[in-house]
Each structure stands twice: as C-alpha cells, then as structure tokens.
Structure 1
Amino acid sequence: MERNHVPRGALLTSNLPQLQNLIKRDPAAYKEEFLQQWNHYESIRKIFQINPDEQAQQFRQLISFIAQVAQCYPQETADFPNRLSALLLESYSTLNPDTRKTLVQNLVMLRNKSVITSIEQRGMDGEVLGDKGKLRVGTTVVDASSKQSADEAMWAVVMAKELWKKGVWNDAKTVSIVALGCFHPHTKVQSASLHFFLGSDEEEEEESDEDDIPDVKALHHRREVNKKTRSSEKKLAKTLKSARKKRKEKNAESATPNFPALQLLNDPQTFGEKLYDNLSRYDKRYSLDHKILLMQLLSRVMGAHQLCILGFYNYIIKYLTYHQLRIPAILVSLAQSVHSLTPPDALTPVIRKIANEFVHPGVGPEVIAAGLNSIREVCRRQPWCMEEDLLGDLIEYRKSRDKGVMTASRGLLQLYREVNPGMLKRRERGKEATMSKDLQRPAFGHTNSAAVDIEGLELLEAHFEKLRAEDDGNGVEVNEEDDEAAWEGWEVDSETSDSESEGWIDVSSDDEDDIVISDSEDESTKKGKRKDKKEADESMETDPPEVIESVPRTSTLATTKASILTPADFALLNDLKIKAATEAVQAGAGPATKRKLAALEANKKSISNKESGNLSEFFVSENDILGPRKKAKADYEERMASIQKGREGREKFGSARGKKKKETPSSSTNREKARNKPLMMILASNAVRGKKKASLREKQKKLRAHINRAKKS
C-alpha cells in the first residue's frame, strides 16, 4: 500500500502550531516559511480593513501566530504591535468581539515578552498658541477642538487612571503619563489629569452624577402645581431620600487626595513652573473653576516638595477679596503653597492684602474669621511673614463677641506665643514666654547655636541602664548582628551606603606633615589665639563652681561609639518622650507640658503618615479656613433622629388620652378642662357662635358623627 507524500511547505502552511514550535527552536532555519506567512497576513489585513467579516477567523489565527514568534524576527515585525493598536483604536466599533479580544490578548502577550512597553502616548504632544486655544501638532496648526487628538489623549489618561486605581500600574511612569495631560491644550484632558492628582472625580463623572441626582426645587414646585395624592407624596419622599443619599456619597468619595502620585512626580520644580506658566499665560481662557483646580494642584506640589515659585503669590493676590466667588478654596490654595523655605518678603504683601480686605469692621463676622484663619495658616508655616504692628491689630479681635472671630484671633495669638513671643507685647506673651529668657527666635535663614546634645537622650540612656540592671548586672554587648537588625524595615540612602561601604579611611600619624590646612591668618595670629585660649582655660579653673554647674549635662551616649543611633533608637526615644510627658500631665503638670505632649504625639503621627505616603497633615481644608460656624438647620433625617432619641424610655407619646387608666392618675386633658369652663367664658367663643349659625345639614352631620362614636364606644 502506497502512502501519499505531502510536501514540507504545504504541511507547515496548513499547521501553524507546528510551524510556531519549529521557529522557536531554530528561527534562522525557518525564516523563509515565516516570511511566507507574513506576506499572507499582509494580504488578509488589507482585505480585512475593507470588509472585517471576511476571513476573520484566518486573520485571528495569523495574528496569534505572528505574536507568538515576533521576538524571533524583531526587524520584520517592528510595526506589528503598532498596527494592532491602531486597528483597535480606529476600528474598535466595527470589529467583531472575538477579534477585539484576540487583538488585546496578543498585545498583552507582546508586553509580557518585553517586545513592547506599557506606555505609548499619542496626542500628548500638543501646545496651546494664544488665548483662542489653537493647537499645534507636529508642524501643522489645527483647531483646539480636534477630536482625534482629544480622544487619543483622553483615552491614555483614563486608562492610566483606571490602572492606577486597580493597583496594576502604580509607579512613576503612570504618574508621568497623567502629568503630561496637565499641560494638554484640551480643557477636558487637562481637567481629568488635574482631578487625578487632587484625588477627586473627573469632570465628566461629576456631570453624570449631577444628572443622576434629581433637582429638589423642581420636585417641590411640581408638588405644589400638580394634584396632591397619597401616592405622589410617598414617591416624592422616596425621591428626596435617594437624592440626599447620593449627594452624601458623592461628597464622601471626593475627599481623598492622591498623595502617592504627588510624591512620584519626576522633577517637581519643572512641573510646578510649567503649571504656573500655564495658569498665568491663559488666565483669560480658563474658567474660574478650572483655574482653581490649577491653583490647588500647584499649591499641593509646592507644599509637598517645598518649592519656591514666587510668581504664584503675585498672581493670587488679585483674587484675595471677600466677594470673590469660591474664595475659601483660593485661600486654601494660598495656605498650602507656603512652607518653611518660602521667603517672607514674598508673603508679607499677601498677608497685608488679606488683612485689608477681610479683617475690618465693614464686613461680617464670618468674613473676619475666614481672614484670620487664613493668616494663621500662612503664618504657621512661615512666621516671619507677619509684621509686628499688624499682629497687634489682629489679636485685638480676641475680644469680639462672635465665637468664630474670637477663636480665630486667639489661635493667632497662641501661635505667636509659641513660635516668636518677641513680636508680642509683654502682657500678651503668656506665663511661659514671659518667664523664658529666649524671646526672640532666629530670623529666616538663621539657626540656633550648635546642638550640644540630643533632646531627651538621657531618657534613652536611662532605659538602656534599666535593661542592663535587669540582666543581673552583666553588661549588654551590642554585636554587629543586633546593629544590623535595628536597621531592618528602614530605608537607607543608596548614595550614602555606597560612599561609606568601604568603611573609615585610616590616616597614619606619620603623614601629618603632608596635610595642608588652608588659612589666611599668619603664624603670629595663630600664636596669639593659642595664647588667648590658654588664658581662658586658666581663668575657667579659677571660676566659682556655680558657673561650672550651669553647663548642661551631656549624655554619655552622645560621647561614645553608641551615639550612632539607629532609626529604631530614635523611634524608641520618641516613645519615651511621650511616656514621660504623659506621666507629667497625669501628675498635674501645667498647660506647657500638655502642649508638649500634643506636639510629640502630632510629630509621631506625622512621621508615620510620611512613611506611608500620607501627607494629609500638610494640607488644609475649607473648614480650617471658615472656622467654627453656627449650627446649620437640621434636615428631615436629623430631625427624625432627634425625635426618636427623645422617645427612648417613654411608655406613651403623642395623644394624652387614657391617662386615667394609669395606676397614678395624671392631670386632666384640655378637652376635659374645656367642659368645666364657666358658661360666660365660652359664650363669645367661635365654637358656640358656630353652633348658632350652623345649617340644618351641618347639624345632621354632627348628630350622625355623634351616633357613630357612641356605637363604637
């Protein structure tokens, strides 16, 4: 029996999985067969673009085959991933679901094989020309409403945001994609990118949410116009309850800033400068809400990375008026942009403008409180921006009758009692600052004298001595393994570790002559200084012992090898400080110790938040600017909750009938009291007059009602 001979080329052409296996084993030997399939793919692709339903199955098989062996022939398949992505982006609405699934699966496989990267931006390279919104793409100038550019950029931003939210892409590359969108000429793309960093919903989602939430005023108006029925009342109550619930959920979701994204920004200084340039150059082009979004993001970047973009304060000063729309959000942006490295000269005009516009008798108490709170938030970050005469005028508002104004002024006074009591008058400094000798704090750019010891280090030394005493008097030797274990879980700077990896460099005493110390003074001056130093040492020996006792005690940990403390030691030191302050407060210490305890706890919380990427304490909210306000009018749910709370523990509520059935009779009802009234008191009442003027029909109705009540009883 003879066997039919099948040619090798025909066998490989009809069996793509077999050819795929052979190509992976020896790509060079089967390159001709691959090119044959590649040409077949090119011809079917052209047919597929004209008619997607024709030969779709074979087209999907060829795509899967080429994607599997693309890494074997990188030059021939260089444009293959771009064609797949272009086919998805341009013809996604006309493609078969199976074809779309195949295209996406093969793109993911190419990414997993490192044939392509995850980031491929399109439509992000536009720039705005003029205030009319012209867009330049490459060398061609087109209108800013170019749909293709906007769709491509919006698709990239939305995709990056969704992958960030799901935790798939959570690195700096994803943040760089959205950062490019912050400078896109299309306002929609820019707004979506800004909302990503601010942690709120996109503009499109907010509009859709507003469409879902019904208009309460329209519902009440419809109820007044239409016929009132029981079913319509129930439907209205149900709709209003749903609207309140949706509004609360929306407000709760939009209050979580995206702190990790701010930390992962590449070159924050350049990003902030471009953001400010975009804000100031196209000021007339953007709406107020969009400009506030730019201000909020710029201020958070400046505060998180301690940037100095001084033009921002000249720009924002024109918006600092009490009648400006959304002024609380603008004041929040101003406060968030200030930090300890901001020059006070740039902030002094801003503080003066807020005081002139907000803090004077011609405005309401809420405006004054907002102005004082915003000044306090700015001065808390940079105390030297305040002028002494202006501070004296502002703290006089602590005598105001309004609670919000009084609280805001007292907060400003308490701030300067702590940071710089020298700017206050003697009677306003408080007990602690008055008893202290150091009233004037170092000016901006200056520091205190050199540190002799670490504050609270004696607590750590006492803790170690206690541990040694518990070890039956045997010394606790800290070996190298324990020292390495103390650094576990803490990040070490790579540059520092690399530079210090070789250890200390030993310098022999024989090479002392080779060491040259550059000094402009001559030898006679040096001899004079050494003589003065010797005389000073001799005079110290003859000084009384009181002078020696005034020298602060230095902990032994600061003068030994153990003074190289690990991060775990500093964390333990902070806990020991908190424990000592807590015990002092429980023993009846004064308000200064309480404030110190609060500061230590706040510092510990700040360190933990910074390690976890949470920068919430560095930012302020509109409630911090507005301050404590009067209680707003309660809505229906709050009133019903109050009513239910008042009914707890009561047997009866509502009507007072049946009180005589109790074991202890209570007072009579109003109806019983009306029966016992004298006749002359009720002759002129409307009830008696109405009976005289009642018609026969009304008398019949009353009689029938009386009979029915008698039958029921």
Structure 2
Amino acid sequence: MDVSQENNNKLISNLPQLQNLIKRDPVSYAEEFERQHSVYAATLVIFEQNPTVFNNQLHELLMFMAQVAQCYPKELDKFPQELMTLLKRHASVLHPEMRMSLVKALVLLRNKNLLSPTDLHILFFQLLRCQDKNLRKFLQQHMVTDIKNLNSKSKNMKLNKELQNFMYEMLKAKHAVAAKTSLNVMLELYNKKIWNDAKTVNIITTACFHKVTKIMVAAIKFFVGKDDEDDDGGGGGDGDNSGSDSDEDEQAALKAAVMAYKVNKKTKKRKQKKMQKVKNIVKKNQKNKTTKVNMDFSALHLIHDPQDMAERLYRKLENMNERFEVKLLTMNLISRLIGIHKLYLPNFYPLLQRYLYPHQREVTKVMVFAAQAAHDEVPPDDLEPVVRCLANNFVTERYSSEVMAMGLNAIRELCARNPHGMPDDLLQDLAQYKTHKDKGVSMAARSLIVLFRDKNPMLLSRKDRGAPTELKAEEKQQMFGEINAKSFIPGAEILSFKIENEESDDSDSEGEGWIDVDHPEIYMDGSDDDEGKENEKKENSEKALTTKEAVKEVMKLTAEERAERAEDIVSSRFLTDQDFAKIAAVQAAKYVEKFSLNKKNKNSKRKLDIIEEKQEAGELVPLKNIEMIYKKRKHDKDARMGTVLAGREGREKYGQKKGKMNPHASTTNRQKNKGKNFMMMKHKVKGKQKKSFREKQLKLRNSLLKQRKFKI
C-alpha cells in the first residue's frame, strides 16, 4: 500500500505524464483531473490577488488544462472564457511571462477548435496595446497562421468576410499599433496568396491615406513593390512543355522563313546579311508571342476606383511635409495608377516638372515616374511640356555627357508609350546628337531615331526615316485617339496560294493542304457568284508553288488585295501550326523587303503610308532603361598590346613588300645607322635639332648672299 500511494503521489505531481495518460484514457483518470482542476481554481484565486508576479504553478496548470481540454468538454466549458476575462482585466499589469502563458493556452484551445477565431482575434488586438514587443510579434504570427489554416483545404468565404471587416475596423482605429498590425497581417496574407482578392486590396488602399507615416509608407510600398508571382504559372511540368512547344514553333517559323525569303539577292554578302535579319525578326516575333503576360503589380489591377485614389494621393502629395523619400513613393504610386489604368490627371505632369533638373536628388526616379504616367490616351498638349522640359534641362552642352544621355533615354521611354507628345522640330534637333563625340549620347540619340522609325517616321528628317518596307507600306499610320482594329490576320494572304510540301519528313500532309469550311457539299444554298469564286480559287491553286515563289507572289499584291485575301482565308478555314509558320515567314519578309511601286501598281499611284507599329512597352519603366549609358572602358597597356598582337595573327608581315633581290646583300648606311649606339650618332643628331629664329635668319642671309655672288 505504501508503494502504490507513493506512485500515486508521483503521478499527481508529474503533470506531463498525467496529461499523456488522460489523452489515452480520459475516463480512467477523471478523478485525477478533478483534483488538478480544483488546484487550478485555488491557484487562480491566489494569483488574482497579486497579478504582477509570475506564478510557475499556475503556468504549468494552464498548459495542462489547455492540453486536455478536449477530453473533458463539460468540466472545462468555461475555461477559455476565464482566461480571456483574466487577460482583459489585468492585461497591462500582468507579468510578461505570465501574460505569454495565458496567450499560449488560448492558442492551444483555438487549435483544438474550442474557441472562435473572431473572439480570439478581438482579444489579441486589445492586447496589442501592451508594451511587449515579443507578445506583439507572437500575436501577429498566430493570426496569420490561424487564417492560413482556416483556408488550407478550401476558402471559408463567410469567415474570411467577417475577419476582413474586423481588420478594416482595426485599420481605422486610433491606436497606431493595432492599425499597423492589422495592415501587416493583411499584407502577409496577400503575399501568401490567402487573401489575394479585391476586397483585401481595397482595404489596404485606405491605409495609403493614414495619418501615421509608417502605416502610410507600408501600404504604398505594398503597391509599388514587386508581386511574388510564380514563373511557372502554377504548374510544375507545364512550364517545360510550353517552352518546348515554343521552341518547335520557332524552328518551324525559321525554317519557313529561310526557305521563303530568297528574293532580290544581288551578292552573296548581301544575301547572308538579309537572311540573318529575317531570322532575328522571326525569333523576336515568336518570343513576343510566347512570352507570358506578367502582371507586374496585380494588386493595382484590383483597385475599384483608381481615379479617385490617384486624385486623393495627388492632393495629399501637394500638401505633404514628409521626407523626400516618402514623396518619391507617392509619386511612384500615382504614376503607376495613371499608366496601368490609363487615368487622366493633368495636374500631375506640371508637378513632375518641378523636380526634373540635373541637380535634383534621385532625378532618375522622377524621370521613370514621368515615363510611367505617359500612356497612349494622354493628350499631346499635356506631354509636350514634359518632353521639352527634359530636353531643355538635360540635353544641353552645358552638362556632362552622362546627363545628356539620361535625358535622351528618358525622352525615349516616354515617347515609347505616347509618341504624340513629341514635336517634329524638337525631334529633329535631338536626332542631331547621333554624331556626338560621346558614345553614350550618340547611342541614346540613335535609339530615339530607331523608336520613331517605327512610331512615326514622318516626324524625322528625310535622311533619318530609313528605307520604307512592305510591312510599313501596307499599314496605316494612327493618329492620336485612333484605334486600328483589323478583321484579319496580317500575312494570311500567303495561304491563298497552294504551297507544295517542300519537306515531307518534317511537315504533316494535312497541314499543307486545304481545310475548307465553306465546302459546296455542306452549304448547298450558295449562289452562282460563290461557286464562281470557288472555281477561280481552285484554278489558281492547281499549280503548287514553293514557299519562296508564294512570297514573291504576295509581294506583287497591293495592300488592299492582301487585306482582302487575308480576310477571306481567316473567315473560311481553320489555321494550323504550319499555316502560322508560313504567316510568320511572309511577315518577316515584309519587314526587310524594301517597298517599291511595281509595274502593276505604277498607274494606281498608291500613297505610301508609314506604319506606326505598336511596340511591346511594359506597364513599368525599369530604372536601368534611364541610367543605361554606354561607356567604353579604358584599357591598360597589357590589354591594348593583347588586342594589337591578336590583330597581327594571320596577317602578312608589315613593311616593304618588294624585299631584297638577294637576301645576302649588304644593308644601306641608313639601315646601319639604326643599329648603332647613340653616342656614335650624337653629333649627327645634334645638327638636326630645331634651330632658333635667329639661326634661321643668318642661314637665309648667307644663302641669299651666296646666290647673289654667283649671279654676278
């Protein structure tokens, strides 16, 4: 009996062992639990009399009760409420370790689903007022983890909505710590893709106007920071498959282009140069098609009223007395809102001009903001002053070449998004810097010329426009506000010719043939005109052409005929991968084939319109595009000698090519003098030194006297 009594006493005092036994068999150890529960009640009463002191016994009993709470739900029904009441009553005066013990006990109860998340979060936000940094960090981490676990299997929309409303109320609270914690929780949940919906984003937008600078800056940084999107698009193996498919499409398009474009080649060198240009164009076009559209800042796309937000931020920026870094963040957010949502905020551009000076701190970032705020729907009258400000303040000879290059780069990035703000006289003046002595300035000026060759060549001087191509000739130049919508696929006119199967091993026979939808057997109600057109098509397609010959035939057509044929093809059949490869080939050929009025079109006097090709400009402007200054490094002597010696390899020996008739013949006196010691030639070198003016006078006088003497 004595031994058993001793074991029972050990069992009672060893709470972890009792906890393990209760979890295995709660009914058998109910009496021991009741005994510990009564000890907990008595200890709690004693603790409340002096809550500022840490009670180790109460700490152990709290952990024990929280661990076995699911085993005795009736006995511990009021246990969570007792802990919450204790924290609400003595939160500010509790010992930090004791307060942390109560909080961890509540977290254990919440993990066992014995406490609602809303009630616990309300309590935790009240505890944020305590001056305890470790506690705040623990509370924030638990709220994020708890909401993540609630949405692990499926999103609980009802509970999420309730918690989001509570977070919104806390964000508007006067207590700065509670508002900052609420914002941090939502930001972390958004980055973890748990609360990445529009409601969360629009709640965060309210923090951009908070009176506390730290909260405002955190919210603005969220919108101007990078989005953590997966590069593989959410699929592990899909990314590799898409990459292989794009490679196959590129190879097919390249093969078709190489076979197709062999027209008007006069020399072998010109042929190789032009073919390489075609290959580069096909690769670039294929890359643009297969590149995933990356929403750089998807949170900005979820804002309900971006115009109102941009206007409020602008009013706040005008009256802002914060640090310059905070002003830059606000400018950045406004510019991105304007560029992404294509807003109209005319007062923003004059504000940017105040900071567009070379001596301004972080001026390159302001240049980026000016370029980001320029989209194709901004009137030219609003952008022209910005362009002239950049040209007058940066692209001048009184500043260094680096400043001039950055100014030209900023103008290029702005005009890439809206070229209508560039006046022709200013563009022609800036184009003159292409011959500047500094490489960075000349490169920046040339890049501006190349941009306007695609956007609007008529603004350039005649010598800078470049040779017109077939692709530019068949497109119409767009004016400001004009939308050029096509009802066909450019280049599909090549499919109106029957092309023979040039490589049967690599291409499918079905892909090379016709896939007609408007078949006469299916549509029996066609008119005689339709039948005549079909017969004409069959007659034209009886003779199979090579891809090279088909491209030649396409080049003979006018722009109107190409559009008509392409529209007929697109509306009458489905296109295969081989068809798209042929279209890519003919488009590449149009890009490099110079436009000329052939015999068929000379009488029509077709007007030459230069294409305004839309470039793929991203939503954002990288800072490196403005700071991209070409600077050639200075080489040391060893590097220069290495370059010189490398250039001599494989070259004929420098010197007289005639050489000696007899290699054993003696050298001349001049050659012998080169090998002599300096002291031996010193007297001769001395006579060749530069003479003074007086010596020249005397020599000239003696020479004249001598000539006069001989004449007499």
- TM-score of the superposed pair, with normalisation by structure 1: 0.51
Aligned-residue offset at 1:444: 0.9
Percent identity, aligned pairs only? 28
1:90 alignment partner, SS class:
coil
* Correspondent of 1:368 among 389, 401, 404: 404
* Correspondent of 1:82 among 115, 118, 122: 122
Amino acid at match of 2:127: L
CA, structure 1 residues 581+193, in 2 after alignment: closer, same or farther (shift >3 Å)?
Answer: same
Corresponding residue of 2:299: 261
Aligned partners of 2:396 and 2:404 also within 8 Å: yes
Cα deviation digits, residues 153-211 of structure 1 (max 9, x gap) = 4434444444555555555455445434333333333333333333379xxxxxxxxxx
Aligned-residue offset at 1:387: 1.8
Q: Does 1:384 align with 2:423?
A: no
CA, structure 1 residues 573+190, in 2 after alignment: closer, same or farther (shift >3 Å)?
Answer: farther
Corresponding residue of 1:409: 445
Aligned-residue offset at 1:329: 1.5
Matches within 5 A, 1:15-30: 20=70
Matches within 5 A, 1:219-368: 259-282=297-320, 285-368=321-404
Aligned-residue offset at 1:446: 2.7
CA, structure 1 residues 13+633, in 2 after alignment: closer, same or farther (shift >3 Å)?
Answer: farther
Aligned-residue offset at 1:348: 1.4
Cα deviation digits, residues 462-501 of structure 1 (max 9, x gap) = 79997884489796899xxxxxxxxxxxxxxxxxxxxxxx
Aligned partners of 1:461 and 1:555 also within 8 Å: no
Aligned-residue offset at 1:581: 5.2
2:377 alignment partner, SS class:
coil
Matches within 5 A, 1:667-682: none
Corresponding residue of 2:571: 559
- TM-score of the superposed pair, with normalisation by structure 2: 0.51
Aligned-residue offset at 1:82: 1.1
Amino acid at match of 2:222: F
CA, structure 1 residues 124+360, in 2 after alignment: closer, same or farther (shift >3 Å)?
Answer: farther
Amino acid at match of 1:272: A
Instruction: Give the distance between the partners of 2:144 and 2:515, measured in 1 at CA.
Output: 66
CA, structure 1 residues 581+390, in 2 after alignment: closer, same or farther (shift >3 Å)?
Answer: same
2:127 alignment partner, SS class:
helix
CA, structure 1 residues 109+437, in 2 after alignment: closer, same or farther (shift >3 Å)?
Answer: closer
Aligned-residue offset at 1:456: 1.8
Amino acid at match of 2:385: P
Instruction: Give the distance between the partners of 1:87 and 1:124, measured in 2 at CA.
Output: 13
Corresponding residue of 2:664: none
1:121 alignment partner, SS class:
helix
Aligned-residue offset at 1:152: 3.2
Corresponding residue of 2:669: none
Aligned partners of 1:344 and 1:385 also within 8 Å: yes
Amino acid at match of 2:626: I
Instruction: Give the distance between the partners of 1:371 and 1:110, measured in 2 at CA.
Output: 52
Instruction: Give the distance between the partners of 1:59 and 1:405, measured in 2 at CA.
Output: 64
1:553 alignment partner, SS class:
helix
CA, structure 1 residues 315+572, in 2 after alignment: closer, same or farther (shift >3 Å)?
Answer: farther
Corresponding residue of 1:503: none
Cα deviation digits, residues 46-94 of structure 1 (max 9, x gap) = 46764576799798667755775657xx7xx974441144336636558
Corresponding residue of 2:220: 194
Instruction: Give the distance between the partners of 1:621 and 1:58, measured in 2 at CA.
Output: 50
Aligned-residue offset at 1:316: 0.8
Aligned partners of 2:402 and 2:629 also within 8 Å: no
Corresponding residue of 2:621: 620
CA, structure 1 residues 86+468, in 2 after alignment: closer, same or farther (shift >3 Å)?
Answer: same
Aligned-residue offset at 1:303: 2.0
Q: Does 1:121 align with 2:157?
A: no
Aligned-residue offset at 1:457: 2.2
Cα deviation digits, residues 188-242 of structure 1 (max 9, x gap) = 33333333333379xxxxxxxxxxxxxxxxxxxxxxxxxxxxxxxxxxxxxxxxx
Amino acid at match of 1:453: F
Instruction: Give the distance between the partners of 1:311 and 1:383, measured in 2 at CA.
Output: 20
Aligned-residue offset at 1:347: 0.7
CA, structure 1 residues 367+78, in 2 after alignment: closer, same or farther (shift >3 Å)?
Answer: closer
Corresponding residue of 1:155: 181
Instruction: Give the distance between the partners of 1:385 and 1:43, measured in 2 at CA.
Output: 66
Instruction: Give the distance between the partners of 1:98 and 1:625, measured in 2 at CA.
Output: 43
Cα deviation digits, residues 95-114 of structure 1 (max 9, x gap) = 69999999998787677795
Instruction: Give the distance between the partners of 1:110 and 1:369, measured in 2 at CA.
Output: 54
Aligned-residue offset at 1:383: 1.5
2:167 alignment partner, SS class:
coil
Aligned partners of 1:13 and 1:37 also within 8 Å: no
Aligned partners of 1:400 and 1:406 also within 8 Å: yes
Aligned-residue offset at 1:346: 0.9
CA, structure 1 residues 556+438, in 2 after alignment: closer, same or farther (shift >3 Å)?
Answer: closer
CA, structure 1 residues 157+579, in 2 after alignment: closer, same or farther (shift >3 Å)?
Answer: farther
Work out the number of aligned pairs and report it: 468
Corresponding residue of 1:457: 492
Matches within 5 A, 1:697-712: none
Instruction: Give the distance between the partners of 1:97 and 1:125, measured in 2 at CA.
Output: 17
Aligned partners of 1:272 and 1:302 also within 8 Å: yes
Aligned partners of 1:359 and 1:367 also within 8 Å: yes
Aligned partners of 1:81 and 1:107 also within 8 Å: no
Amino acid at match of 1:363: Y
Corresponding residue of 1:145: none
Instruction: Give the distance between the partners of 1:111 and 1:310, measured in 2 at CA.
Output: 44
Amino acid at match of 1:357: N
Aligned-residue offset at 1:313: 0.6
Aligned partners of 2:367 and 2:626 also within 8 Å: yes
Cα deviation digits, residues 441-471 of structure 1 (max 9, x gap) = 33212345x7463212235677999788448
Amino acid at match of 2:207: G
Aligned partners of 1:200 and 1:257 also within 8 Å: no
Instruction: Give the distance between the partners of 1:61 and 1:434, measured in 2 at CA.
Output: 77
CA, structure 1 residues 64+337, in 2 after alignment: closer, same or farther (shift >3 Å)?
Answer: same
Aligned-residue offset at 1:338: 0.9
Amino acid at match of 1:619: L
Cα deviation digits, residues 380-415 of structure 1 (max 9, x gap) = 211211222222322223332222222222332333
Instruction: Give the distance between the partners of 2:104 and 2:560, measured in 1 at CA.
Output: 90
Aligned-residue offset at 1:353: 2.1
Corresponding residue of 1:183: 209
